[in-house]
Structures are given as C-alpha cells and as structure tokens.
C-alpha cells in the first residue's frame, strides 16, 4: 500500500471512531509521526495530516534544511519526544509546539528562552499514565505541581495534555490509561479556568480506543508509513 492509501484508511478509521464518540472528523487532528522517515515520505503524508510530529531536535533540524517550504503544506511541527534542557534554544527555532513538557526544570528553561525571544510557546504536559510500562512523561502524582508551575509562566501557553498508552493489546488497560489523562485534564480545566482543549493520545495500535476516551489528537507513525527501520 502507498502512504496515500494508508492515510486514507486511517482517516476513515478516525472518522468512524469519532462518530462512535459523538464527534465529527474535524474534532480530531492527525499528527504524522515522522521519526526515521525521509522528507519525500513526509511530503506524501503531509496533505493528509494536520501536523508533523518529530521526536528529536537533531533529526528535525536536518529535515527542515531540505523541507521545500514553497511547495509543501504549511503544517505546524510538534516536538513529541523528550527534550533535554541543553537543546531548548535549538528546539524553539524548529518547532511550533512542545508536546512533551515533563518537568519543572524544562518548563523554566523554555520560559526563559521564550521570554528572550519575545515569543509565547504552546505546550502540552506529557503525563506517564502507563506507569511501569513507560518511562516518559511526568508521574501523575507530580502533575498538580507541574501544572501550577506552568500556569505561572507567562511565555508558555498550556493547551492540554499528552500521553503514551501502555504497550499492551489489553483494551481495558489501554483505555484506563487514556481515561486517566482525560480525568487529569478535567481537573486541570477546573483549577485553571482555561479550556485546555487538547488531549494528545493514541498511536498506530490504539488510536481508536483513544478517540473513544476523548482524544483530540492522534499521533500515527507506522500505520501511515509502514514499519520503522532504525539504523
């Protein structure tokens, strides 16, 4: 199957899952996750996607050098992988959002550099809802204090939350993790009075369950491009 055919199929499955959840297809954004993919492959997917999701600063930098800004759809680039504090300045020049905000130290650093640049950076807080099965994201018990911190940083604009579901095919554990993120977002909306509309959850293996649990943004790599080959 071509990338175009796979994209069509994913959009169909997203639309069906959205309908089941009482939503319209426009309520859920497709982020094309492009780690290890060539710019050529990315361009094939770009017309179907609402954003590009990259994991690594270095990789995004190399791709942006050859990205044809004239002929490509003007999509936002979202950083979805862990960001080290020493790469913040470079990341801010490459990405439109940071979806993997997972510590106060990183929040402070992003705030300082966004302030210097006179820029307000949209962010998502990444939560580790899968607990022992995943290592990325902030522990749910530390979420409230990070939320408090981020809400007080004037150059960060919190738009919602992100999570990676547990790596299992057990539907109920996966859905429980996604429901957990949704509940954290509900609490955060109440505390902050902000809309915090984004719930970035769901990948190739679990995006339909995520949409059932309220996802507004799915991050799809292998179902769109085929299996990844890490060099």
Ligand X SMILES: *Cc1c(COP(=O)(O)O)cnc(C)c1O
What region, left, alpha or beta, does residue 116 occupy, with left being phi > 0 and alpha being psi -120 to 50 degrees? alpha
Q: What are the backbone angles phi and psi of residue 12, rounded to the nearest 5°? A: -60, -45
- 201 binds ligand X, rule: CB under 6 A: no
Q: State the DSSP code for 199.
A: E
- 78 binds ligand X, rule: CB under 6 A: no
Shortest distance (Å) from residue 228 CB to ligand X: 6
- 83 binds ligand X, rule: CB under 6 A: no
What residue number has its CB nearest to ligand X? 221
Asked whether the CA dihedral 59, 95, 80, 70 is positive or negative, the reply is negative
Half-sphere CA count of 134, side-chain side, radius 13 A: 20
**Angstrom distance (rounded) from CA 106 to CA 44:** 33
Shortest distance (Å) from residue 112 CB to ligand X: 25
- 110 binds ligand X, rule: CB under 6 A: no
- 79 binds ligand X, rule: CB under 6 A: no
Q: Which is nearer to ligand X, 182 or 219 (CB)?
A: 219
- 220 binds ligand X, rule: CB under 6 A: yes
Q: What is the token pair recorded at 15?
A: 């639309």
Per the CB < 8 A criterion, the answer to whether 43 and 68 are in contact is yes
DSSP string, 107-130: HHHHHHHHHHHT--EEEEEEE-TT
Shortest distance (Å) from residue 117 CB to ligand X: 25
Alpha helices, H only, the chain: 3-20, 39-46, 57-66, 88-94, 104-117, 143-151, 171-192, 207-212, 222-225
The span of 21-29, 64-72, 86-94, 198-206 binding ligand X (CB under 6 A) equals: 198-206
Shortest distance (Å) from residue 202 CB to ligand X: 9
Residues 9-48 that bind ligand X (CB under 6 A): 33, 35
The span of 20-28, 116-124, 127-135, 203-211 binding ligand X (CB under 6 A) equals: 203-211
128-167 footprint of ligand X as x/- string (CB under 6 A): ------------------------------------x---
Q: How many residues bind ligand X (CB under 6 A)?
A: 14
Contacting positions for ligand X (CB under 6 A) = 33, 35, 55, 80-81, 164, 203-205, 219-223
């Amino acid at each position: 199957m071509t990338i175009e055919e796979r994209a069509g199929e994913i959009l169909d499955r997203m639309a069906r899952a959205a309908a089941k959840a009482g939503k319209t297809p426009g309520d859920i954004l497709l982020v094309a996750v492009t780690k290890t993919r060539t710019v050529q492959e990315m361009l094939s997917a770009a017309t179907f996607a609402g954003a590009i999701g990259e994991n690594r600063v270095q990789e995004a930098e190399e791709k942006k050098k050859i990205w044809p800004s004239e002929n490509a759809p003007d999509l936002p680039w979202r950083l979805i992988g862990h960001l080290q504090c020493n790469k913040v300045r470079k990341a801010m020049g490459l990405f439109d959002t940071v979806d993997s905000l997972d510590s106060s130290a990183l929040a402070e650093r992003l705030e300082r550099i966004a302030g210097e640049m006179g820029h307000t950076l949209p962010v998502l807080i990444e939560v580790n809802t899968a607990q022992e099965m995943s290592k990325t994201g902030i522990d749910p018990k530390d979420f409230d204090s990070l939320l408090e911190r981020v809400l007080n940083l004037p150059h960060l604009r919190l738009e919602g939350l992100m999570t990676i579901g547990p790596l299992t095919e057990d539907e109920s554990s996966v859905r429980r993790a996604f429901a957990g993120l949704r509940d954290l977002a509900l609490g955060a909306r109440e505390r902050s009075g902000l809309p915090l509309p984004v719930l970035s959850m769901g990948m190739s293996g679990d995006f339909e369950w995520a949409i059932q649990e309220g996802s507004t943004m799915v991050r799809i790599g292998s179902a769109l491009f085929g299996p990844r080959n890490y060099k």
